[in-house]
């Protein structure tokens, strides 16, 4: 009996001893589980000041780290502008430049048909520069016709003809559209979306192959030849997704173009919001674009531009319809994190409830909001490649910080209606 008891005791001890490694390994499993729930932004990629920590705070607060049951509820939303926010340089311009160098713009019957806001002066300038010898619907020889390429580029970039005359006039809501932005997809009318995607892909290949700082001559214009994805932004998107966020692009560019560039970092078409052209019976782009909220389809009255970006986010992500899509929503129906670089992004980035990321390109309204930092959650970062130097003088926030619907500049106000004072440029290259 004693031997049996002793044997039983030794066996029990052996079992206890054998259980020690398993018990010791448990914390490692718990730690791994915590790491899975709390994905971290890379420490190998530099951010300005404490910006990485500020963004990480929002990722942790709103994502799976502090909300382990997130998979069973509504995912928090992050939304980013594309051009000069996710990339250095403008992918819409890269596509247009390549298309002009490769004769992909089709001659319209009348240039004034391309935009309802086009002035007679612009119509005359384009007609004179591009001629009428090319049949309607055939490619214009912009690779060799510098005058034609120049007029198109000048109107796209400056909303003026080469002689300095206004290219657009009339009435539009300056917080919902801008004619020269809407004009880019209108220039591709007559092509299918797949054809525009092919042009964007060819332009993308050329822009990624060009060295940083390289330029290209189109017509007589010397333009940036290169585009680069920002590594920090790619890492931010990856980390957000790992933390359970639903991440979108919202761009004032043409949707087929944005889709080509966004696809490379995991965005599908449903998560790429941009200007949507109306297609004709042959599935070719027309001069008309889809409306938003209570605004019908038109020639570009409601594109993802300033307040238009809010409308498209509300409509496409939060399924808010009609006039209500233009209004600021309750926190449960707003994005958690927004990122942009220009005044066209100021409304939706300000709508974010967790963090407002701004890439500093010295654009007045968005920088005034960022430097005022009313809720303490604005994150301003210089451009990651070739950042701008400090802006001289101050941003005129108190007098010209807000773009009114009629285009007149006025004072920028906080949500409590107090005026934002002028701001100096404090975060720069």
pLDDT in tens, 353-398: 999 999 999 999 999 999 999 999 999 999 999 999 999 999 999 9
Phi/psi of residue 80, each to 5°? Answer: -130, 140
In sequence order, which residues have a C-beta less than 8 Å from that of residue 124 and are 6 or more positions away? none
User: What torsion, rounded to 10 degrees, do the Cα atoms 397, 398, 404, 409 define?
Assistant: -80
In sequence order, which residues have a C-beta less than 8 Å from that of residue 224 and are 6 or more positions away? 89, 90, 93, 94, 214, 215, 216
Tell me how far apart the alpha carbons of residues 242 and 63 are, in angstroms, rounded to a whole number: 9
> pLDDT tens across 23-62, in order?
344 444 444 467 788 999 999 999 999 999 999 999 999 9
Count the residues in the chain. 429
Neighbours of 389 (CB within 10 A): 10
For residue 35, what pLDDT is reported? 79
Tell me how far apart the alpha carbons of residues 91 and 207 are, in angstroms, rounded to a whole number: 9
For residue 8, what pLDDT is reported? 40
Tell me how far apart the alpha carbons of residues 157 and 159 are, in angstroms, rounded to a whole number: 6
Tell me how far apart the alpha carbons of residues 254 and 251 are, in angstroms, rounded to a whole number: 8
Question: Is the pTM of the predicted complex or chain greater than 0.85?
Answer: yes
For residue 69, what pLDDT is reported? 80
For residue 123, what pLDDT is reported? 98
* pLDDT < 70: residue spans in the chain: 1-33, 71-73
For residue 25, what pLDDT is reported? 45
User: What distances in angstroms separate CA 176 from CA 179, 329, 361, one per listed residue?
Assistant: 10, 17, 21
For residue 72, what pLDDT is reported? 62
Q: Put residue 155 in one of left, alpha, beta given phi > 0 → left and psi -120 to 50 → alpha.
A: alpha
In the chain, how many H helices and how many E strands? 13, 16
> pLDDT tens across 275-293, in order?
999 999 999 999 999 999 9
């Amino acid at each position: 009996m004693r031997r049996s008891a002793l044997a039983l005791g030794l066996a029990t001890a052996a079992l206890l001893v054998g259980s020690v490694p398993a018990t010791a390994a448990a914390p490692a499993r718990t730690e791994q589980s915590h790491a899975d729930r709390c994905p971290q932004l890379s420490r190998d990629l530099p951010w300005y000041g404490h910006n990485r920590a500020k963004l990480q705070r929002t990722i942790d607060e709103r994502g799976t780290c502090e909300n382990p049951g997130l998979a069973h509820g509504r995912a928090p939303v992050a939304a980013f502008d594309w051009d000069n926010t996710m990339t250095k340089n403008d992918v819409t311009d890269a596509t247009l430049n390549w298309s002009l160098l490769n004769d992909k713009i089709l001659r319209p019957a009348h240039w004034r048909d391309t935009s309802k806001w086009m002035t007679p002066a612009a119509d005359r300038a384009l007609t004179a520069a591009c001629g009428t010898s090319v049949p309607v619907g055939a490619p214009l020889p912009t690779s060799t016709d510098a005058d034609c390429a120049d007029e198109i580029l000048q109107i796209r970039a400056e909303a003026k003809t080469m002689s300095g005359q206004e290219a657009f006039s009339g009435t539009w809501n300056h917080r919902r559209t801008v004619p020269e932005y809407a004009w880019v997809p209108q220039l591709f009318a007559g092509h299918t979306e797949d054809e525009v995607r092919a042009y964007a892909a060819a332009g993308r290949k050329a822009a990624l192959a060009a060295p940083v700082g390289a330029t290209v001559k189109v017509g007589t214009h010397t333009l940036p030849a290169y585009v680069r994805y920002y590594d920090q932004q790619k890492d931010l998107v990856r980390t957000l997704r790992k933390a359970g966020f639903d991440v979108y692009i919202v761009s004032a560019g043409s949707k087929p173009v944005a889709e080509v560039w966004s696809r490379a970092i995991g965005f599908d078409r449903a998560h790429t919001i941009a200007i949507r052209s109306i297609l004709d019976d042959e599935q070719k782009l027309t001069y008309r674009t889809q409306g938003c909220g209570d605004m019908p389809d038109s020639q570009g009255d409601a594109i993802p531009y300033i307040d238009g970006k809010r409308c498209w986010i509300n409509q496409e992500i939060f399924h808010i319809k009609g006039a209500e899509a233009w209004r600021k929503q309750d926190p449960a129906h707003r994005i958690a994190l927004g990122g942009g670089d220009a005044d066209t992004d100021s409304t939706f980035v300000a709508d974010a409830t967790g963090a407002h990321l701004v890439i500093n390109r010295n654009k007045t309204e968005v920088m005034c909001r960022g430097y005022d930092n009313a809720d303490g959650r604005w994150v301003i970062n210089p451009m990651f490649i070739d950042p701008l130097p400090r802006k001289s003088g101050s941003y005129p926030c108190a007098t010209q910080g807000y773009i009114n619907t009629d285009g007149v500049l006025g004072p920028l106000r906080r949500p409590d209606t107090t005026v934002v004072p002028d701001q100096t440029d404090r975060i720069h290259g």
